[in-house]
Structure 1
Amino acid sequence: MHLNADYVMRNFFYARTSGASNTQHQLHAAADATLVDDLLFFDGDASLGQQAISPFGAQVADNGNLNGNQAEVRTYTLSPYLRHHFGHSATAELRVSCDGVSSSADNLLDSQSNRVHISLDSGRDFRALQWSALYDAQRIDYKSSDDVDLKRLSGSLRYLLTPRFAATGSAGYERNNYVAIGEKPEGAFWALGADWMPAQRTSISISAGRRYFGNTVSFAAQHRARIAVFSAAYQEEITTARSQFLLPSTSDTAAFLDGLLMNSVPDKVEREKQVSRFIHDANLPPSLVAPVNTFSNRVFLQKSANVSVASRGTKNTLIVTVFHTERDPQSAAGTTASTGALLDDATRQNGVSALWNWALSPRTRLAANAAFSRASAATSDRHDDNMTFRMGVAHQLHPKLNGGIELRRLEKRSSQAGNEFRENALTAFLLMNF
């Protein structure tokens, strides 16, 4: 069994605001276990933390600031599954998942979900023509609202035309039961595409097709150099806010550093230790700028694109990310699973972030982070801009004790009067690891 947990408790006391003192909890935990060799397995994870409610409210860099635009979000997932290899011919998997999402805000209804996922994938005996089939059924039970059912049955083929180029195709049928504001949320779907590996450390995948809501396109590319990783992706999906909270963050600092160390540190456990140590020693933020997962109970179509570059040398580490996200509601307000929906459910968000870390000495690091993001409401002329700049120095006082100082500047501009603010802050810290 493997268990990885990171918990932080933060207590805030305010000198000039009586009754505002509070305690905040942050948790990221994951576990996996092999219960029966080559047959029965278990995955589980849990999270607890503060999240922004809307991209149009105050976006603060420190959760200690009193802010009505943030709430605590709690998630968990329990997933036992059966997996069996039929020699080298195929692999079958039956996975049952139970998850839950709750928050301290009314905008996001508490919910639980039960999911069944069945897949059958070709094995090594099928070298030129690879195939897979899957069935996925999920029921989301919203507190004080109707259930939502999402079902999909599909099959896919992948044919190697050359050792580095493959043609891909998939087709199937999906049926959903939310009350749609456009096309009926069910029907046949298909997609055609290609996978290309022009070099050993370079991969490109692209596909285009059609689903019940219209034409779809997806793209993913990655290149891994000796000291750098370049990636780009675009996808379109039907999803919910609760589903996004259950997914790992695409702007997670640890994920970028993990990719940088993959060549030099192939062992996953040792790589995780080095990444965690580097983040703590350098006092890096847990994540870079990312689109706000707006609190909503509606089903929506999300189109997201992101490009990132991460590089790590002997003394310098640089991470640059760019993103664009569009969300369009698919379920009607005031109907199934839309109770508590915000007026800004239809949003456009863009952002860019750069993080630079410089090792001044073996025990002293300088870090700078600059970010810009814009949120626009699709149904009005409102747009908000957020700018952040942070610079600090961290020093290792003892193998388990770090200290440092940080200067922070935040600025929010809005096309709507009365929604702007500025902040200048100077922070000193001591961090002890146990």
Structure 2
Amino acid sequence: MSTWSTTRAPPFPAANTMVIMISVTQRGAPGGWTVLVLLMLPAMARPADWTVTPTVRLRESYTDNMNLAPPEQARGQFITEVSPGVLVSTDGPRLQLALSYTLQKVAYTRQPDRTAQQLDANGHAELLPDWLFLDARAGISERNVSAFGPQLIDPALTNSNSTTVRTQAFSPYLRHYFRGFATALLRYDYQHAGSGGLLDVRSTGETLQLTGDNGGRGWNWDLSLQRTQLDDAALAPVTMSNAALTLSYPVNSNISVFGTAGYEKQDYHSASAQPQGRFGTIGGVWTPSPHTRLSASIGHRFFGKTYSLDASYRLRSMFWTLTYNEDITTTHGEFFSVRPEGLTDFLWDLWATRIPDPQLRMQTIKVFLAISQMLGTDGNVNFFSHRYYLQKQGRLSGVYSTPRSALAVHLATTGRSGQTSNAIDSVILGPDELTLTDRTRQTSLQAGWNWRMSARGSLTLGASHSRAKSLTTGREDHNSALTLSLTRQLSSRISASADLRHVRHTSNKGGNYRENGVGATVIVAF
């Protein structure tokens, strides 16, 4: 059970600021916990500009396949949504906060009504100048449980392969620059991800990092010590520790080289190599211009050779990024991984003159990226599991813009190999499908095109195709989606949109389906 409350406190006499308390309480968490409360403390010391915008979203839609069932079982129905919400933001020198919350009330013509929530909150605060800082995140969203089977596209639809995930993260840290020696960082991390009986994982971690100060001359160094404790309700507690020393040297103004050596130990019960031992990495960074950057490395860890790549290229009207990495990961860890923000940042700067209103600009960007990325952040599913995986992931993303249009392309590939026994996933997969996720490969291609017809109206076309393959069982599922959205800003506080979609799902294990949907939405901001 989740509850949401907002409280506006009387202005502090010395600062005349607003303090907003946001709490998300989850049954099963000891006493619940308050998210982002401490982020308000810096407002007591310095004035901050706040934007608090209540909203109401009204939507009427129709789908010809409500439960994403095979053609002979498909049933159509109308869906009515009424979703009150609030947007809260501030961007001061010592406090940055962005929060979006929606309470979704959904009424169906052929099944019981339901209530859902969506929350996306991120905050950063400087509590004590140049010493004490705080980061916090919280989220509530619908997620696909498996990469195989029906895939959720519209949260108003229902199927057996989706569930609500709640995430919370809280990280206070000390950071200070000691002139002539190093910048020191001491951080504490708390994370929790839960979804009913399918997932309940908590982790705590401590990090000590020292980054040397050589005044920009010659060799530099970085020392990192990390320890993380994971508590999965389905497993015994796991401790992960890591110590690493990195040395870097600038060859010239465009090229630098680096090397890392260290030792890691993880005490989960691996089905292959013992998850501990020495590791090392060598690499380089090439920056031929302010618009181009390439970083690459090769190394060795307990599971074998590792490679990484991070490249970006930016012009006035074009931006490309290419990344590749390999690491041990979990479902819980992927929920908290930081996704590349390059495309969002690029569009924010690019559309500054075209869409001067910040809220409208961010809304346009979100609609554009959502339509071109229909099956998740990368088009690939972070499927539920209690196992540890070796993940190899590559992404290629780009945006090309003209004065009145923008084209975005995103290609992603994700391979996972299970490092622990599949028996612990019997509750999620069932006893007959335990080998399904031993080795998987997902690939996706997504594209979105936005045409700004006028100062108040835009047309967005999105297309995506993804493939999920189990390399152990041979199962292969394909998902395709084609969407069209027309958006119109009726006034400074009212916007309307109409959308169409066509979705296809095929699998060599059966369960093929098609779904068509149409909808109209009005959003009112108060």
TM-score (norm 1): 0.92
Distance in 1 separating the partners of 2:226 and 2:372: 32
Q: Give the whole-Å Cα distance in 2 for the aligned partners of 1:125 and 1:263.
A: 35
In structure 2, what is the equivalent of residue 377 of structure 1? 470
- 1:192 corresponding residue in structure 2: 282
Deviation at 1:389, TM superposition (A): 0.1
Residue 150 (structure 1) shift: 1.1
1:242-257 alignment, distance < 5 Å: 242-250=332-340, 256-257=343-344
Q: CA deviation at 1:277?
A: 3.7
Contact 1:305 1:325 in 2 (8 A): yes
Equivalent residue, structure 2, for 1:361 = 454
- For the Cα contact (< 8 Å) 2:222–2:246, is it kept in 1? yes
For residues 312-362 of structure 1, what are the alpha-carbon distances to aligned partners after superposition, in whole Å with 9 as ceiling and x for unaligned? 332102110001100111112336xx6745433231100000011101111
Does the 8 A contact of 2:348 with 2:362 survive in 1? Answer: no
Query: What corresponds to 1:322 in structure 2?
Result: 411
The sequence identity of aligned pairs, in percent, is 30
Q: Give the one of 86, 96, 103 matched to 1:9.
A: 103
Distance (Å, rounded) in 1 between the aligned partners of 2:168 and 2:259: 34
Amino acid at match of 2:263: Y
Which of 24, 37, 62 pairs up with 2:116?
Answer: 24
1:146 to 236, 240, 245: 236
Q: Name the counterpart of 2:382.
A: 293
**Are residues 1:107 and 2:198 paired?**
yes
Paired with 2:336 and 2:458, the residues of 1 have a C-alpha distance of 33
- One-letter identity of the residue aligned with 1:323: A
Mapped to 1, the partners of 2:390 and 2:277 lie a distance apart of 16
> In structure 2, what is the Cα distance between the partners aligned to 1:34 and 1:151?
28
For residues 127 and 294 of structure 1, what CA distance do their matches in structure 2 show?
46
Tell me, in whole angstroms, the C-alpha distance in 1 between the residues paired with 2:131 and 2:386: 37
AA aligned to 2:228 is Q
Alignment equivalent of 1:308, drawn from 361, 376, 397: 397
In structure 2, the CA distance between the partners of 1:212 and 1:80, relative to structure 1 (3 Å rule), is same
AA aligned to 1:66 is T
Tell me how far 1:116 sits from its aligned partner.
0.2
1:278 — aligned with what? Answer: 364
Using the alignment, how far apart are the partners of 1:256 and 1:173 within structure 2?
35
Q: Which amino acid letter does the alignment assign opposite residue 203 of structure 2?
A: S
8 Å CA contact retained: 2:371, 2:461: no
Distance 1:425 1:277 in 2: 22
Q: Does 1:47 align with 2:139?
A: yes
Counterparts in 2 of 1:297 and 1:275: CA distance versus 1, 3 Å? farther
1:432 aligns with 2:524: yes
Match of 2:256 among 143, 166, 173: 166
Structure 1: which 5+ residue stretches go unaligned?
Answer: none
CA–CA separation in structure 2 for the residues paired with 1:10 and 1:176: 41
The separation in 2 between residues aligned to 1:280 and 1:113, in whole angstroms, is 30
> Is residue 163 of structure 2 the alignment partner of residue 71 of structure 1?
yes
Q: CA deviation at 1:378?
A: 1.7
> In structure 1, what residue type is equivalent to 2:220?
Q
Task: Compute the RMSD of aligned alpha carbons.
Answer: 2.1
**Alignment correspondent of 2:208:** 118
SS at match of 2:251: strand
Q: 1:176 aligns with which of 252, 256, 266?
A: 266
The 8 Å contact of residues 355 and 370 in structure 1, kept in 2 or not, is answered as yes
Question: Distance between the aligned counterparts of 1:414 and 1:396, measured in 2?
Answer: 41
Letter in 2 for 1:78: F
| 3-state secondary structure, aligned to 1:327 | strand
1:80 and 2:172 correspond: yes
Larger RCO, structures 1/2 (Cα 8 Å, 6+ apart)? 2
Give 3-state SS (helix, strand or coil) of 1:334's partner: helix
Give, in angstroms, the shift of residue 287 of structure 1.
Answer: 4.5
CA–CA distance in structure 1, aligned partners of residues 269 and 427 of structure 2 = 16
- Give the conservation status (yes or no) of the 8 Å contact 2:372–2:463: no
Native 8 Å contact 1:316 1:357 kept in 2: yes
Calculate the TM-score normalised by the size of structure 2: 0.76
In structure 2, relative to structure 1, the CA distance for the partners of 1:5 and 1:32 (3 Å cut) is same
Distance 1:173 1:190, change over 3 A: same
What is the number of equivalent residue pairs in this alignment? 421
Q: Secondary structure at the match of 1:243?
A: helix
Of residues 377, 382, 393, the one that matches 2:486 is: 393
Match of residue 259 from structure 1: 346
Kept in 1, the 8 Å contact 2:329–2:389? The answer is yes
CA contact (8 A) 2:264 2:276 kept: yes
Question: Which structure has the greater CA radius of gyration?
Answer: 2
SS in 2 for 1:54: coil
Cα separation, 2, equivalents of 1:340 and 1:153: 35
Residues 283 and 96 of structure 1, relative CA distance in 2, 3 Å threshold: closer
Which region of structure 1 is more displaced relative to structure 2, 218-227 or 288-297? 288-297
Which is worse superposed, 128-137 or 272-281? 272-281
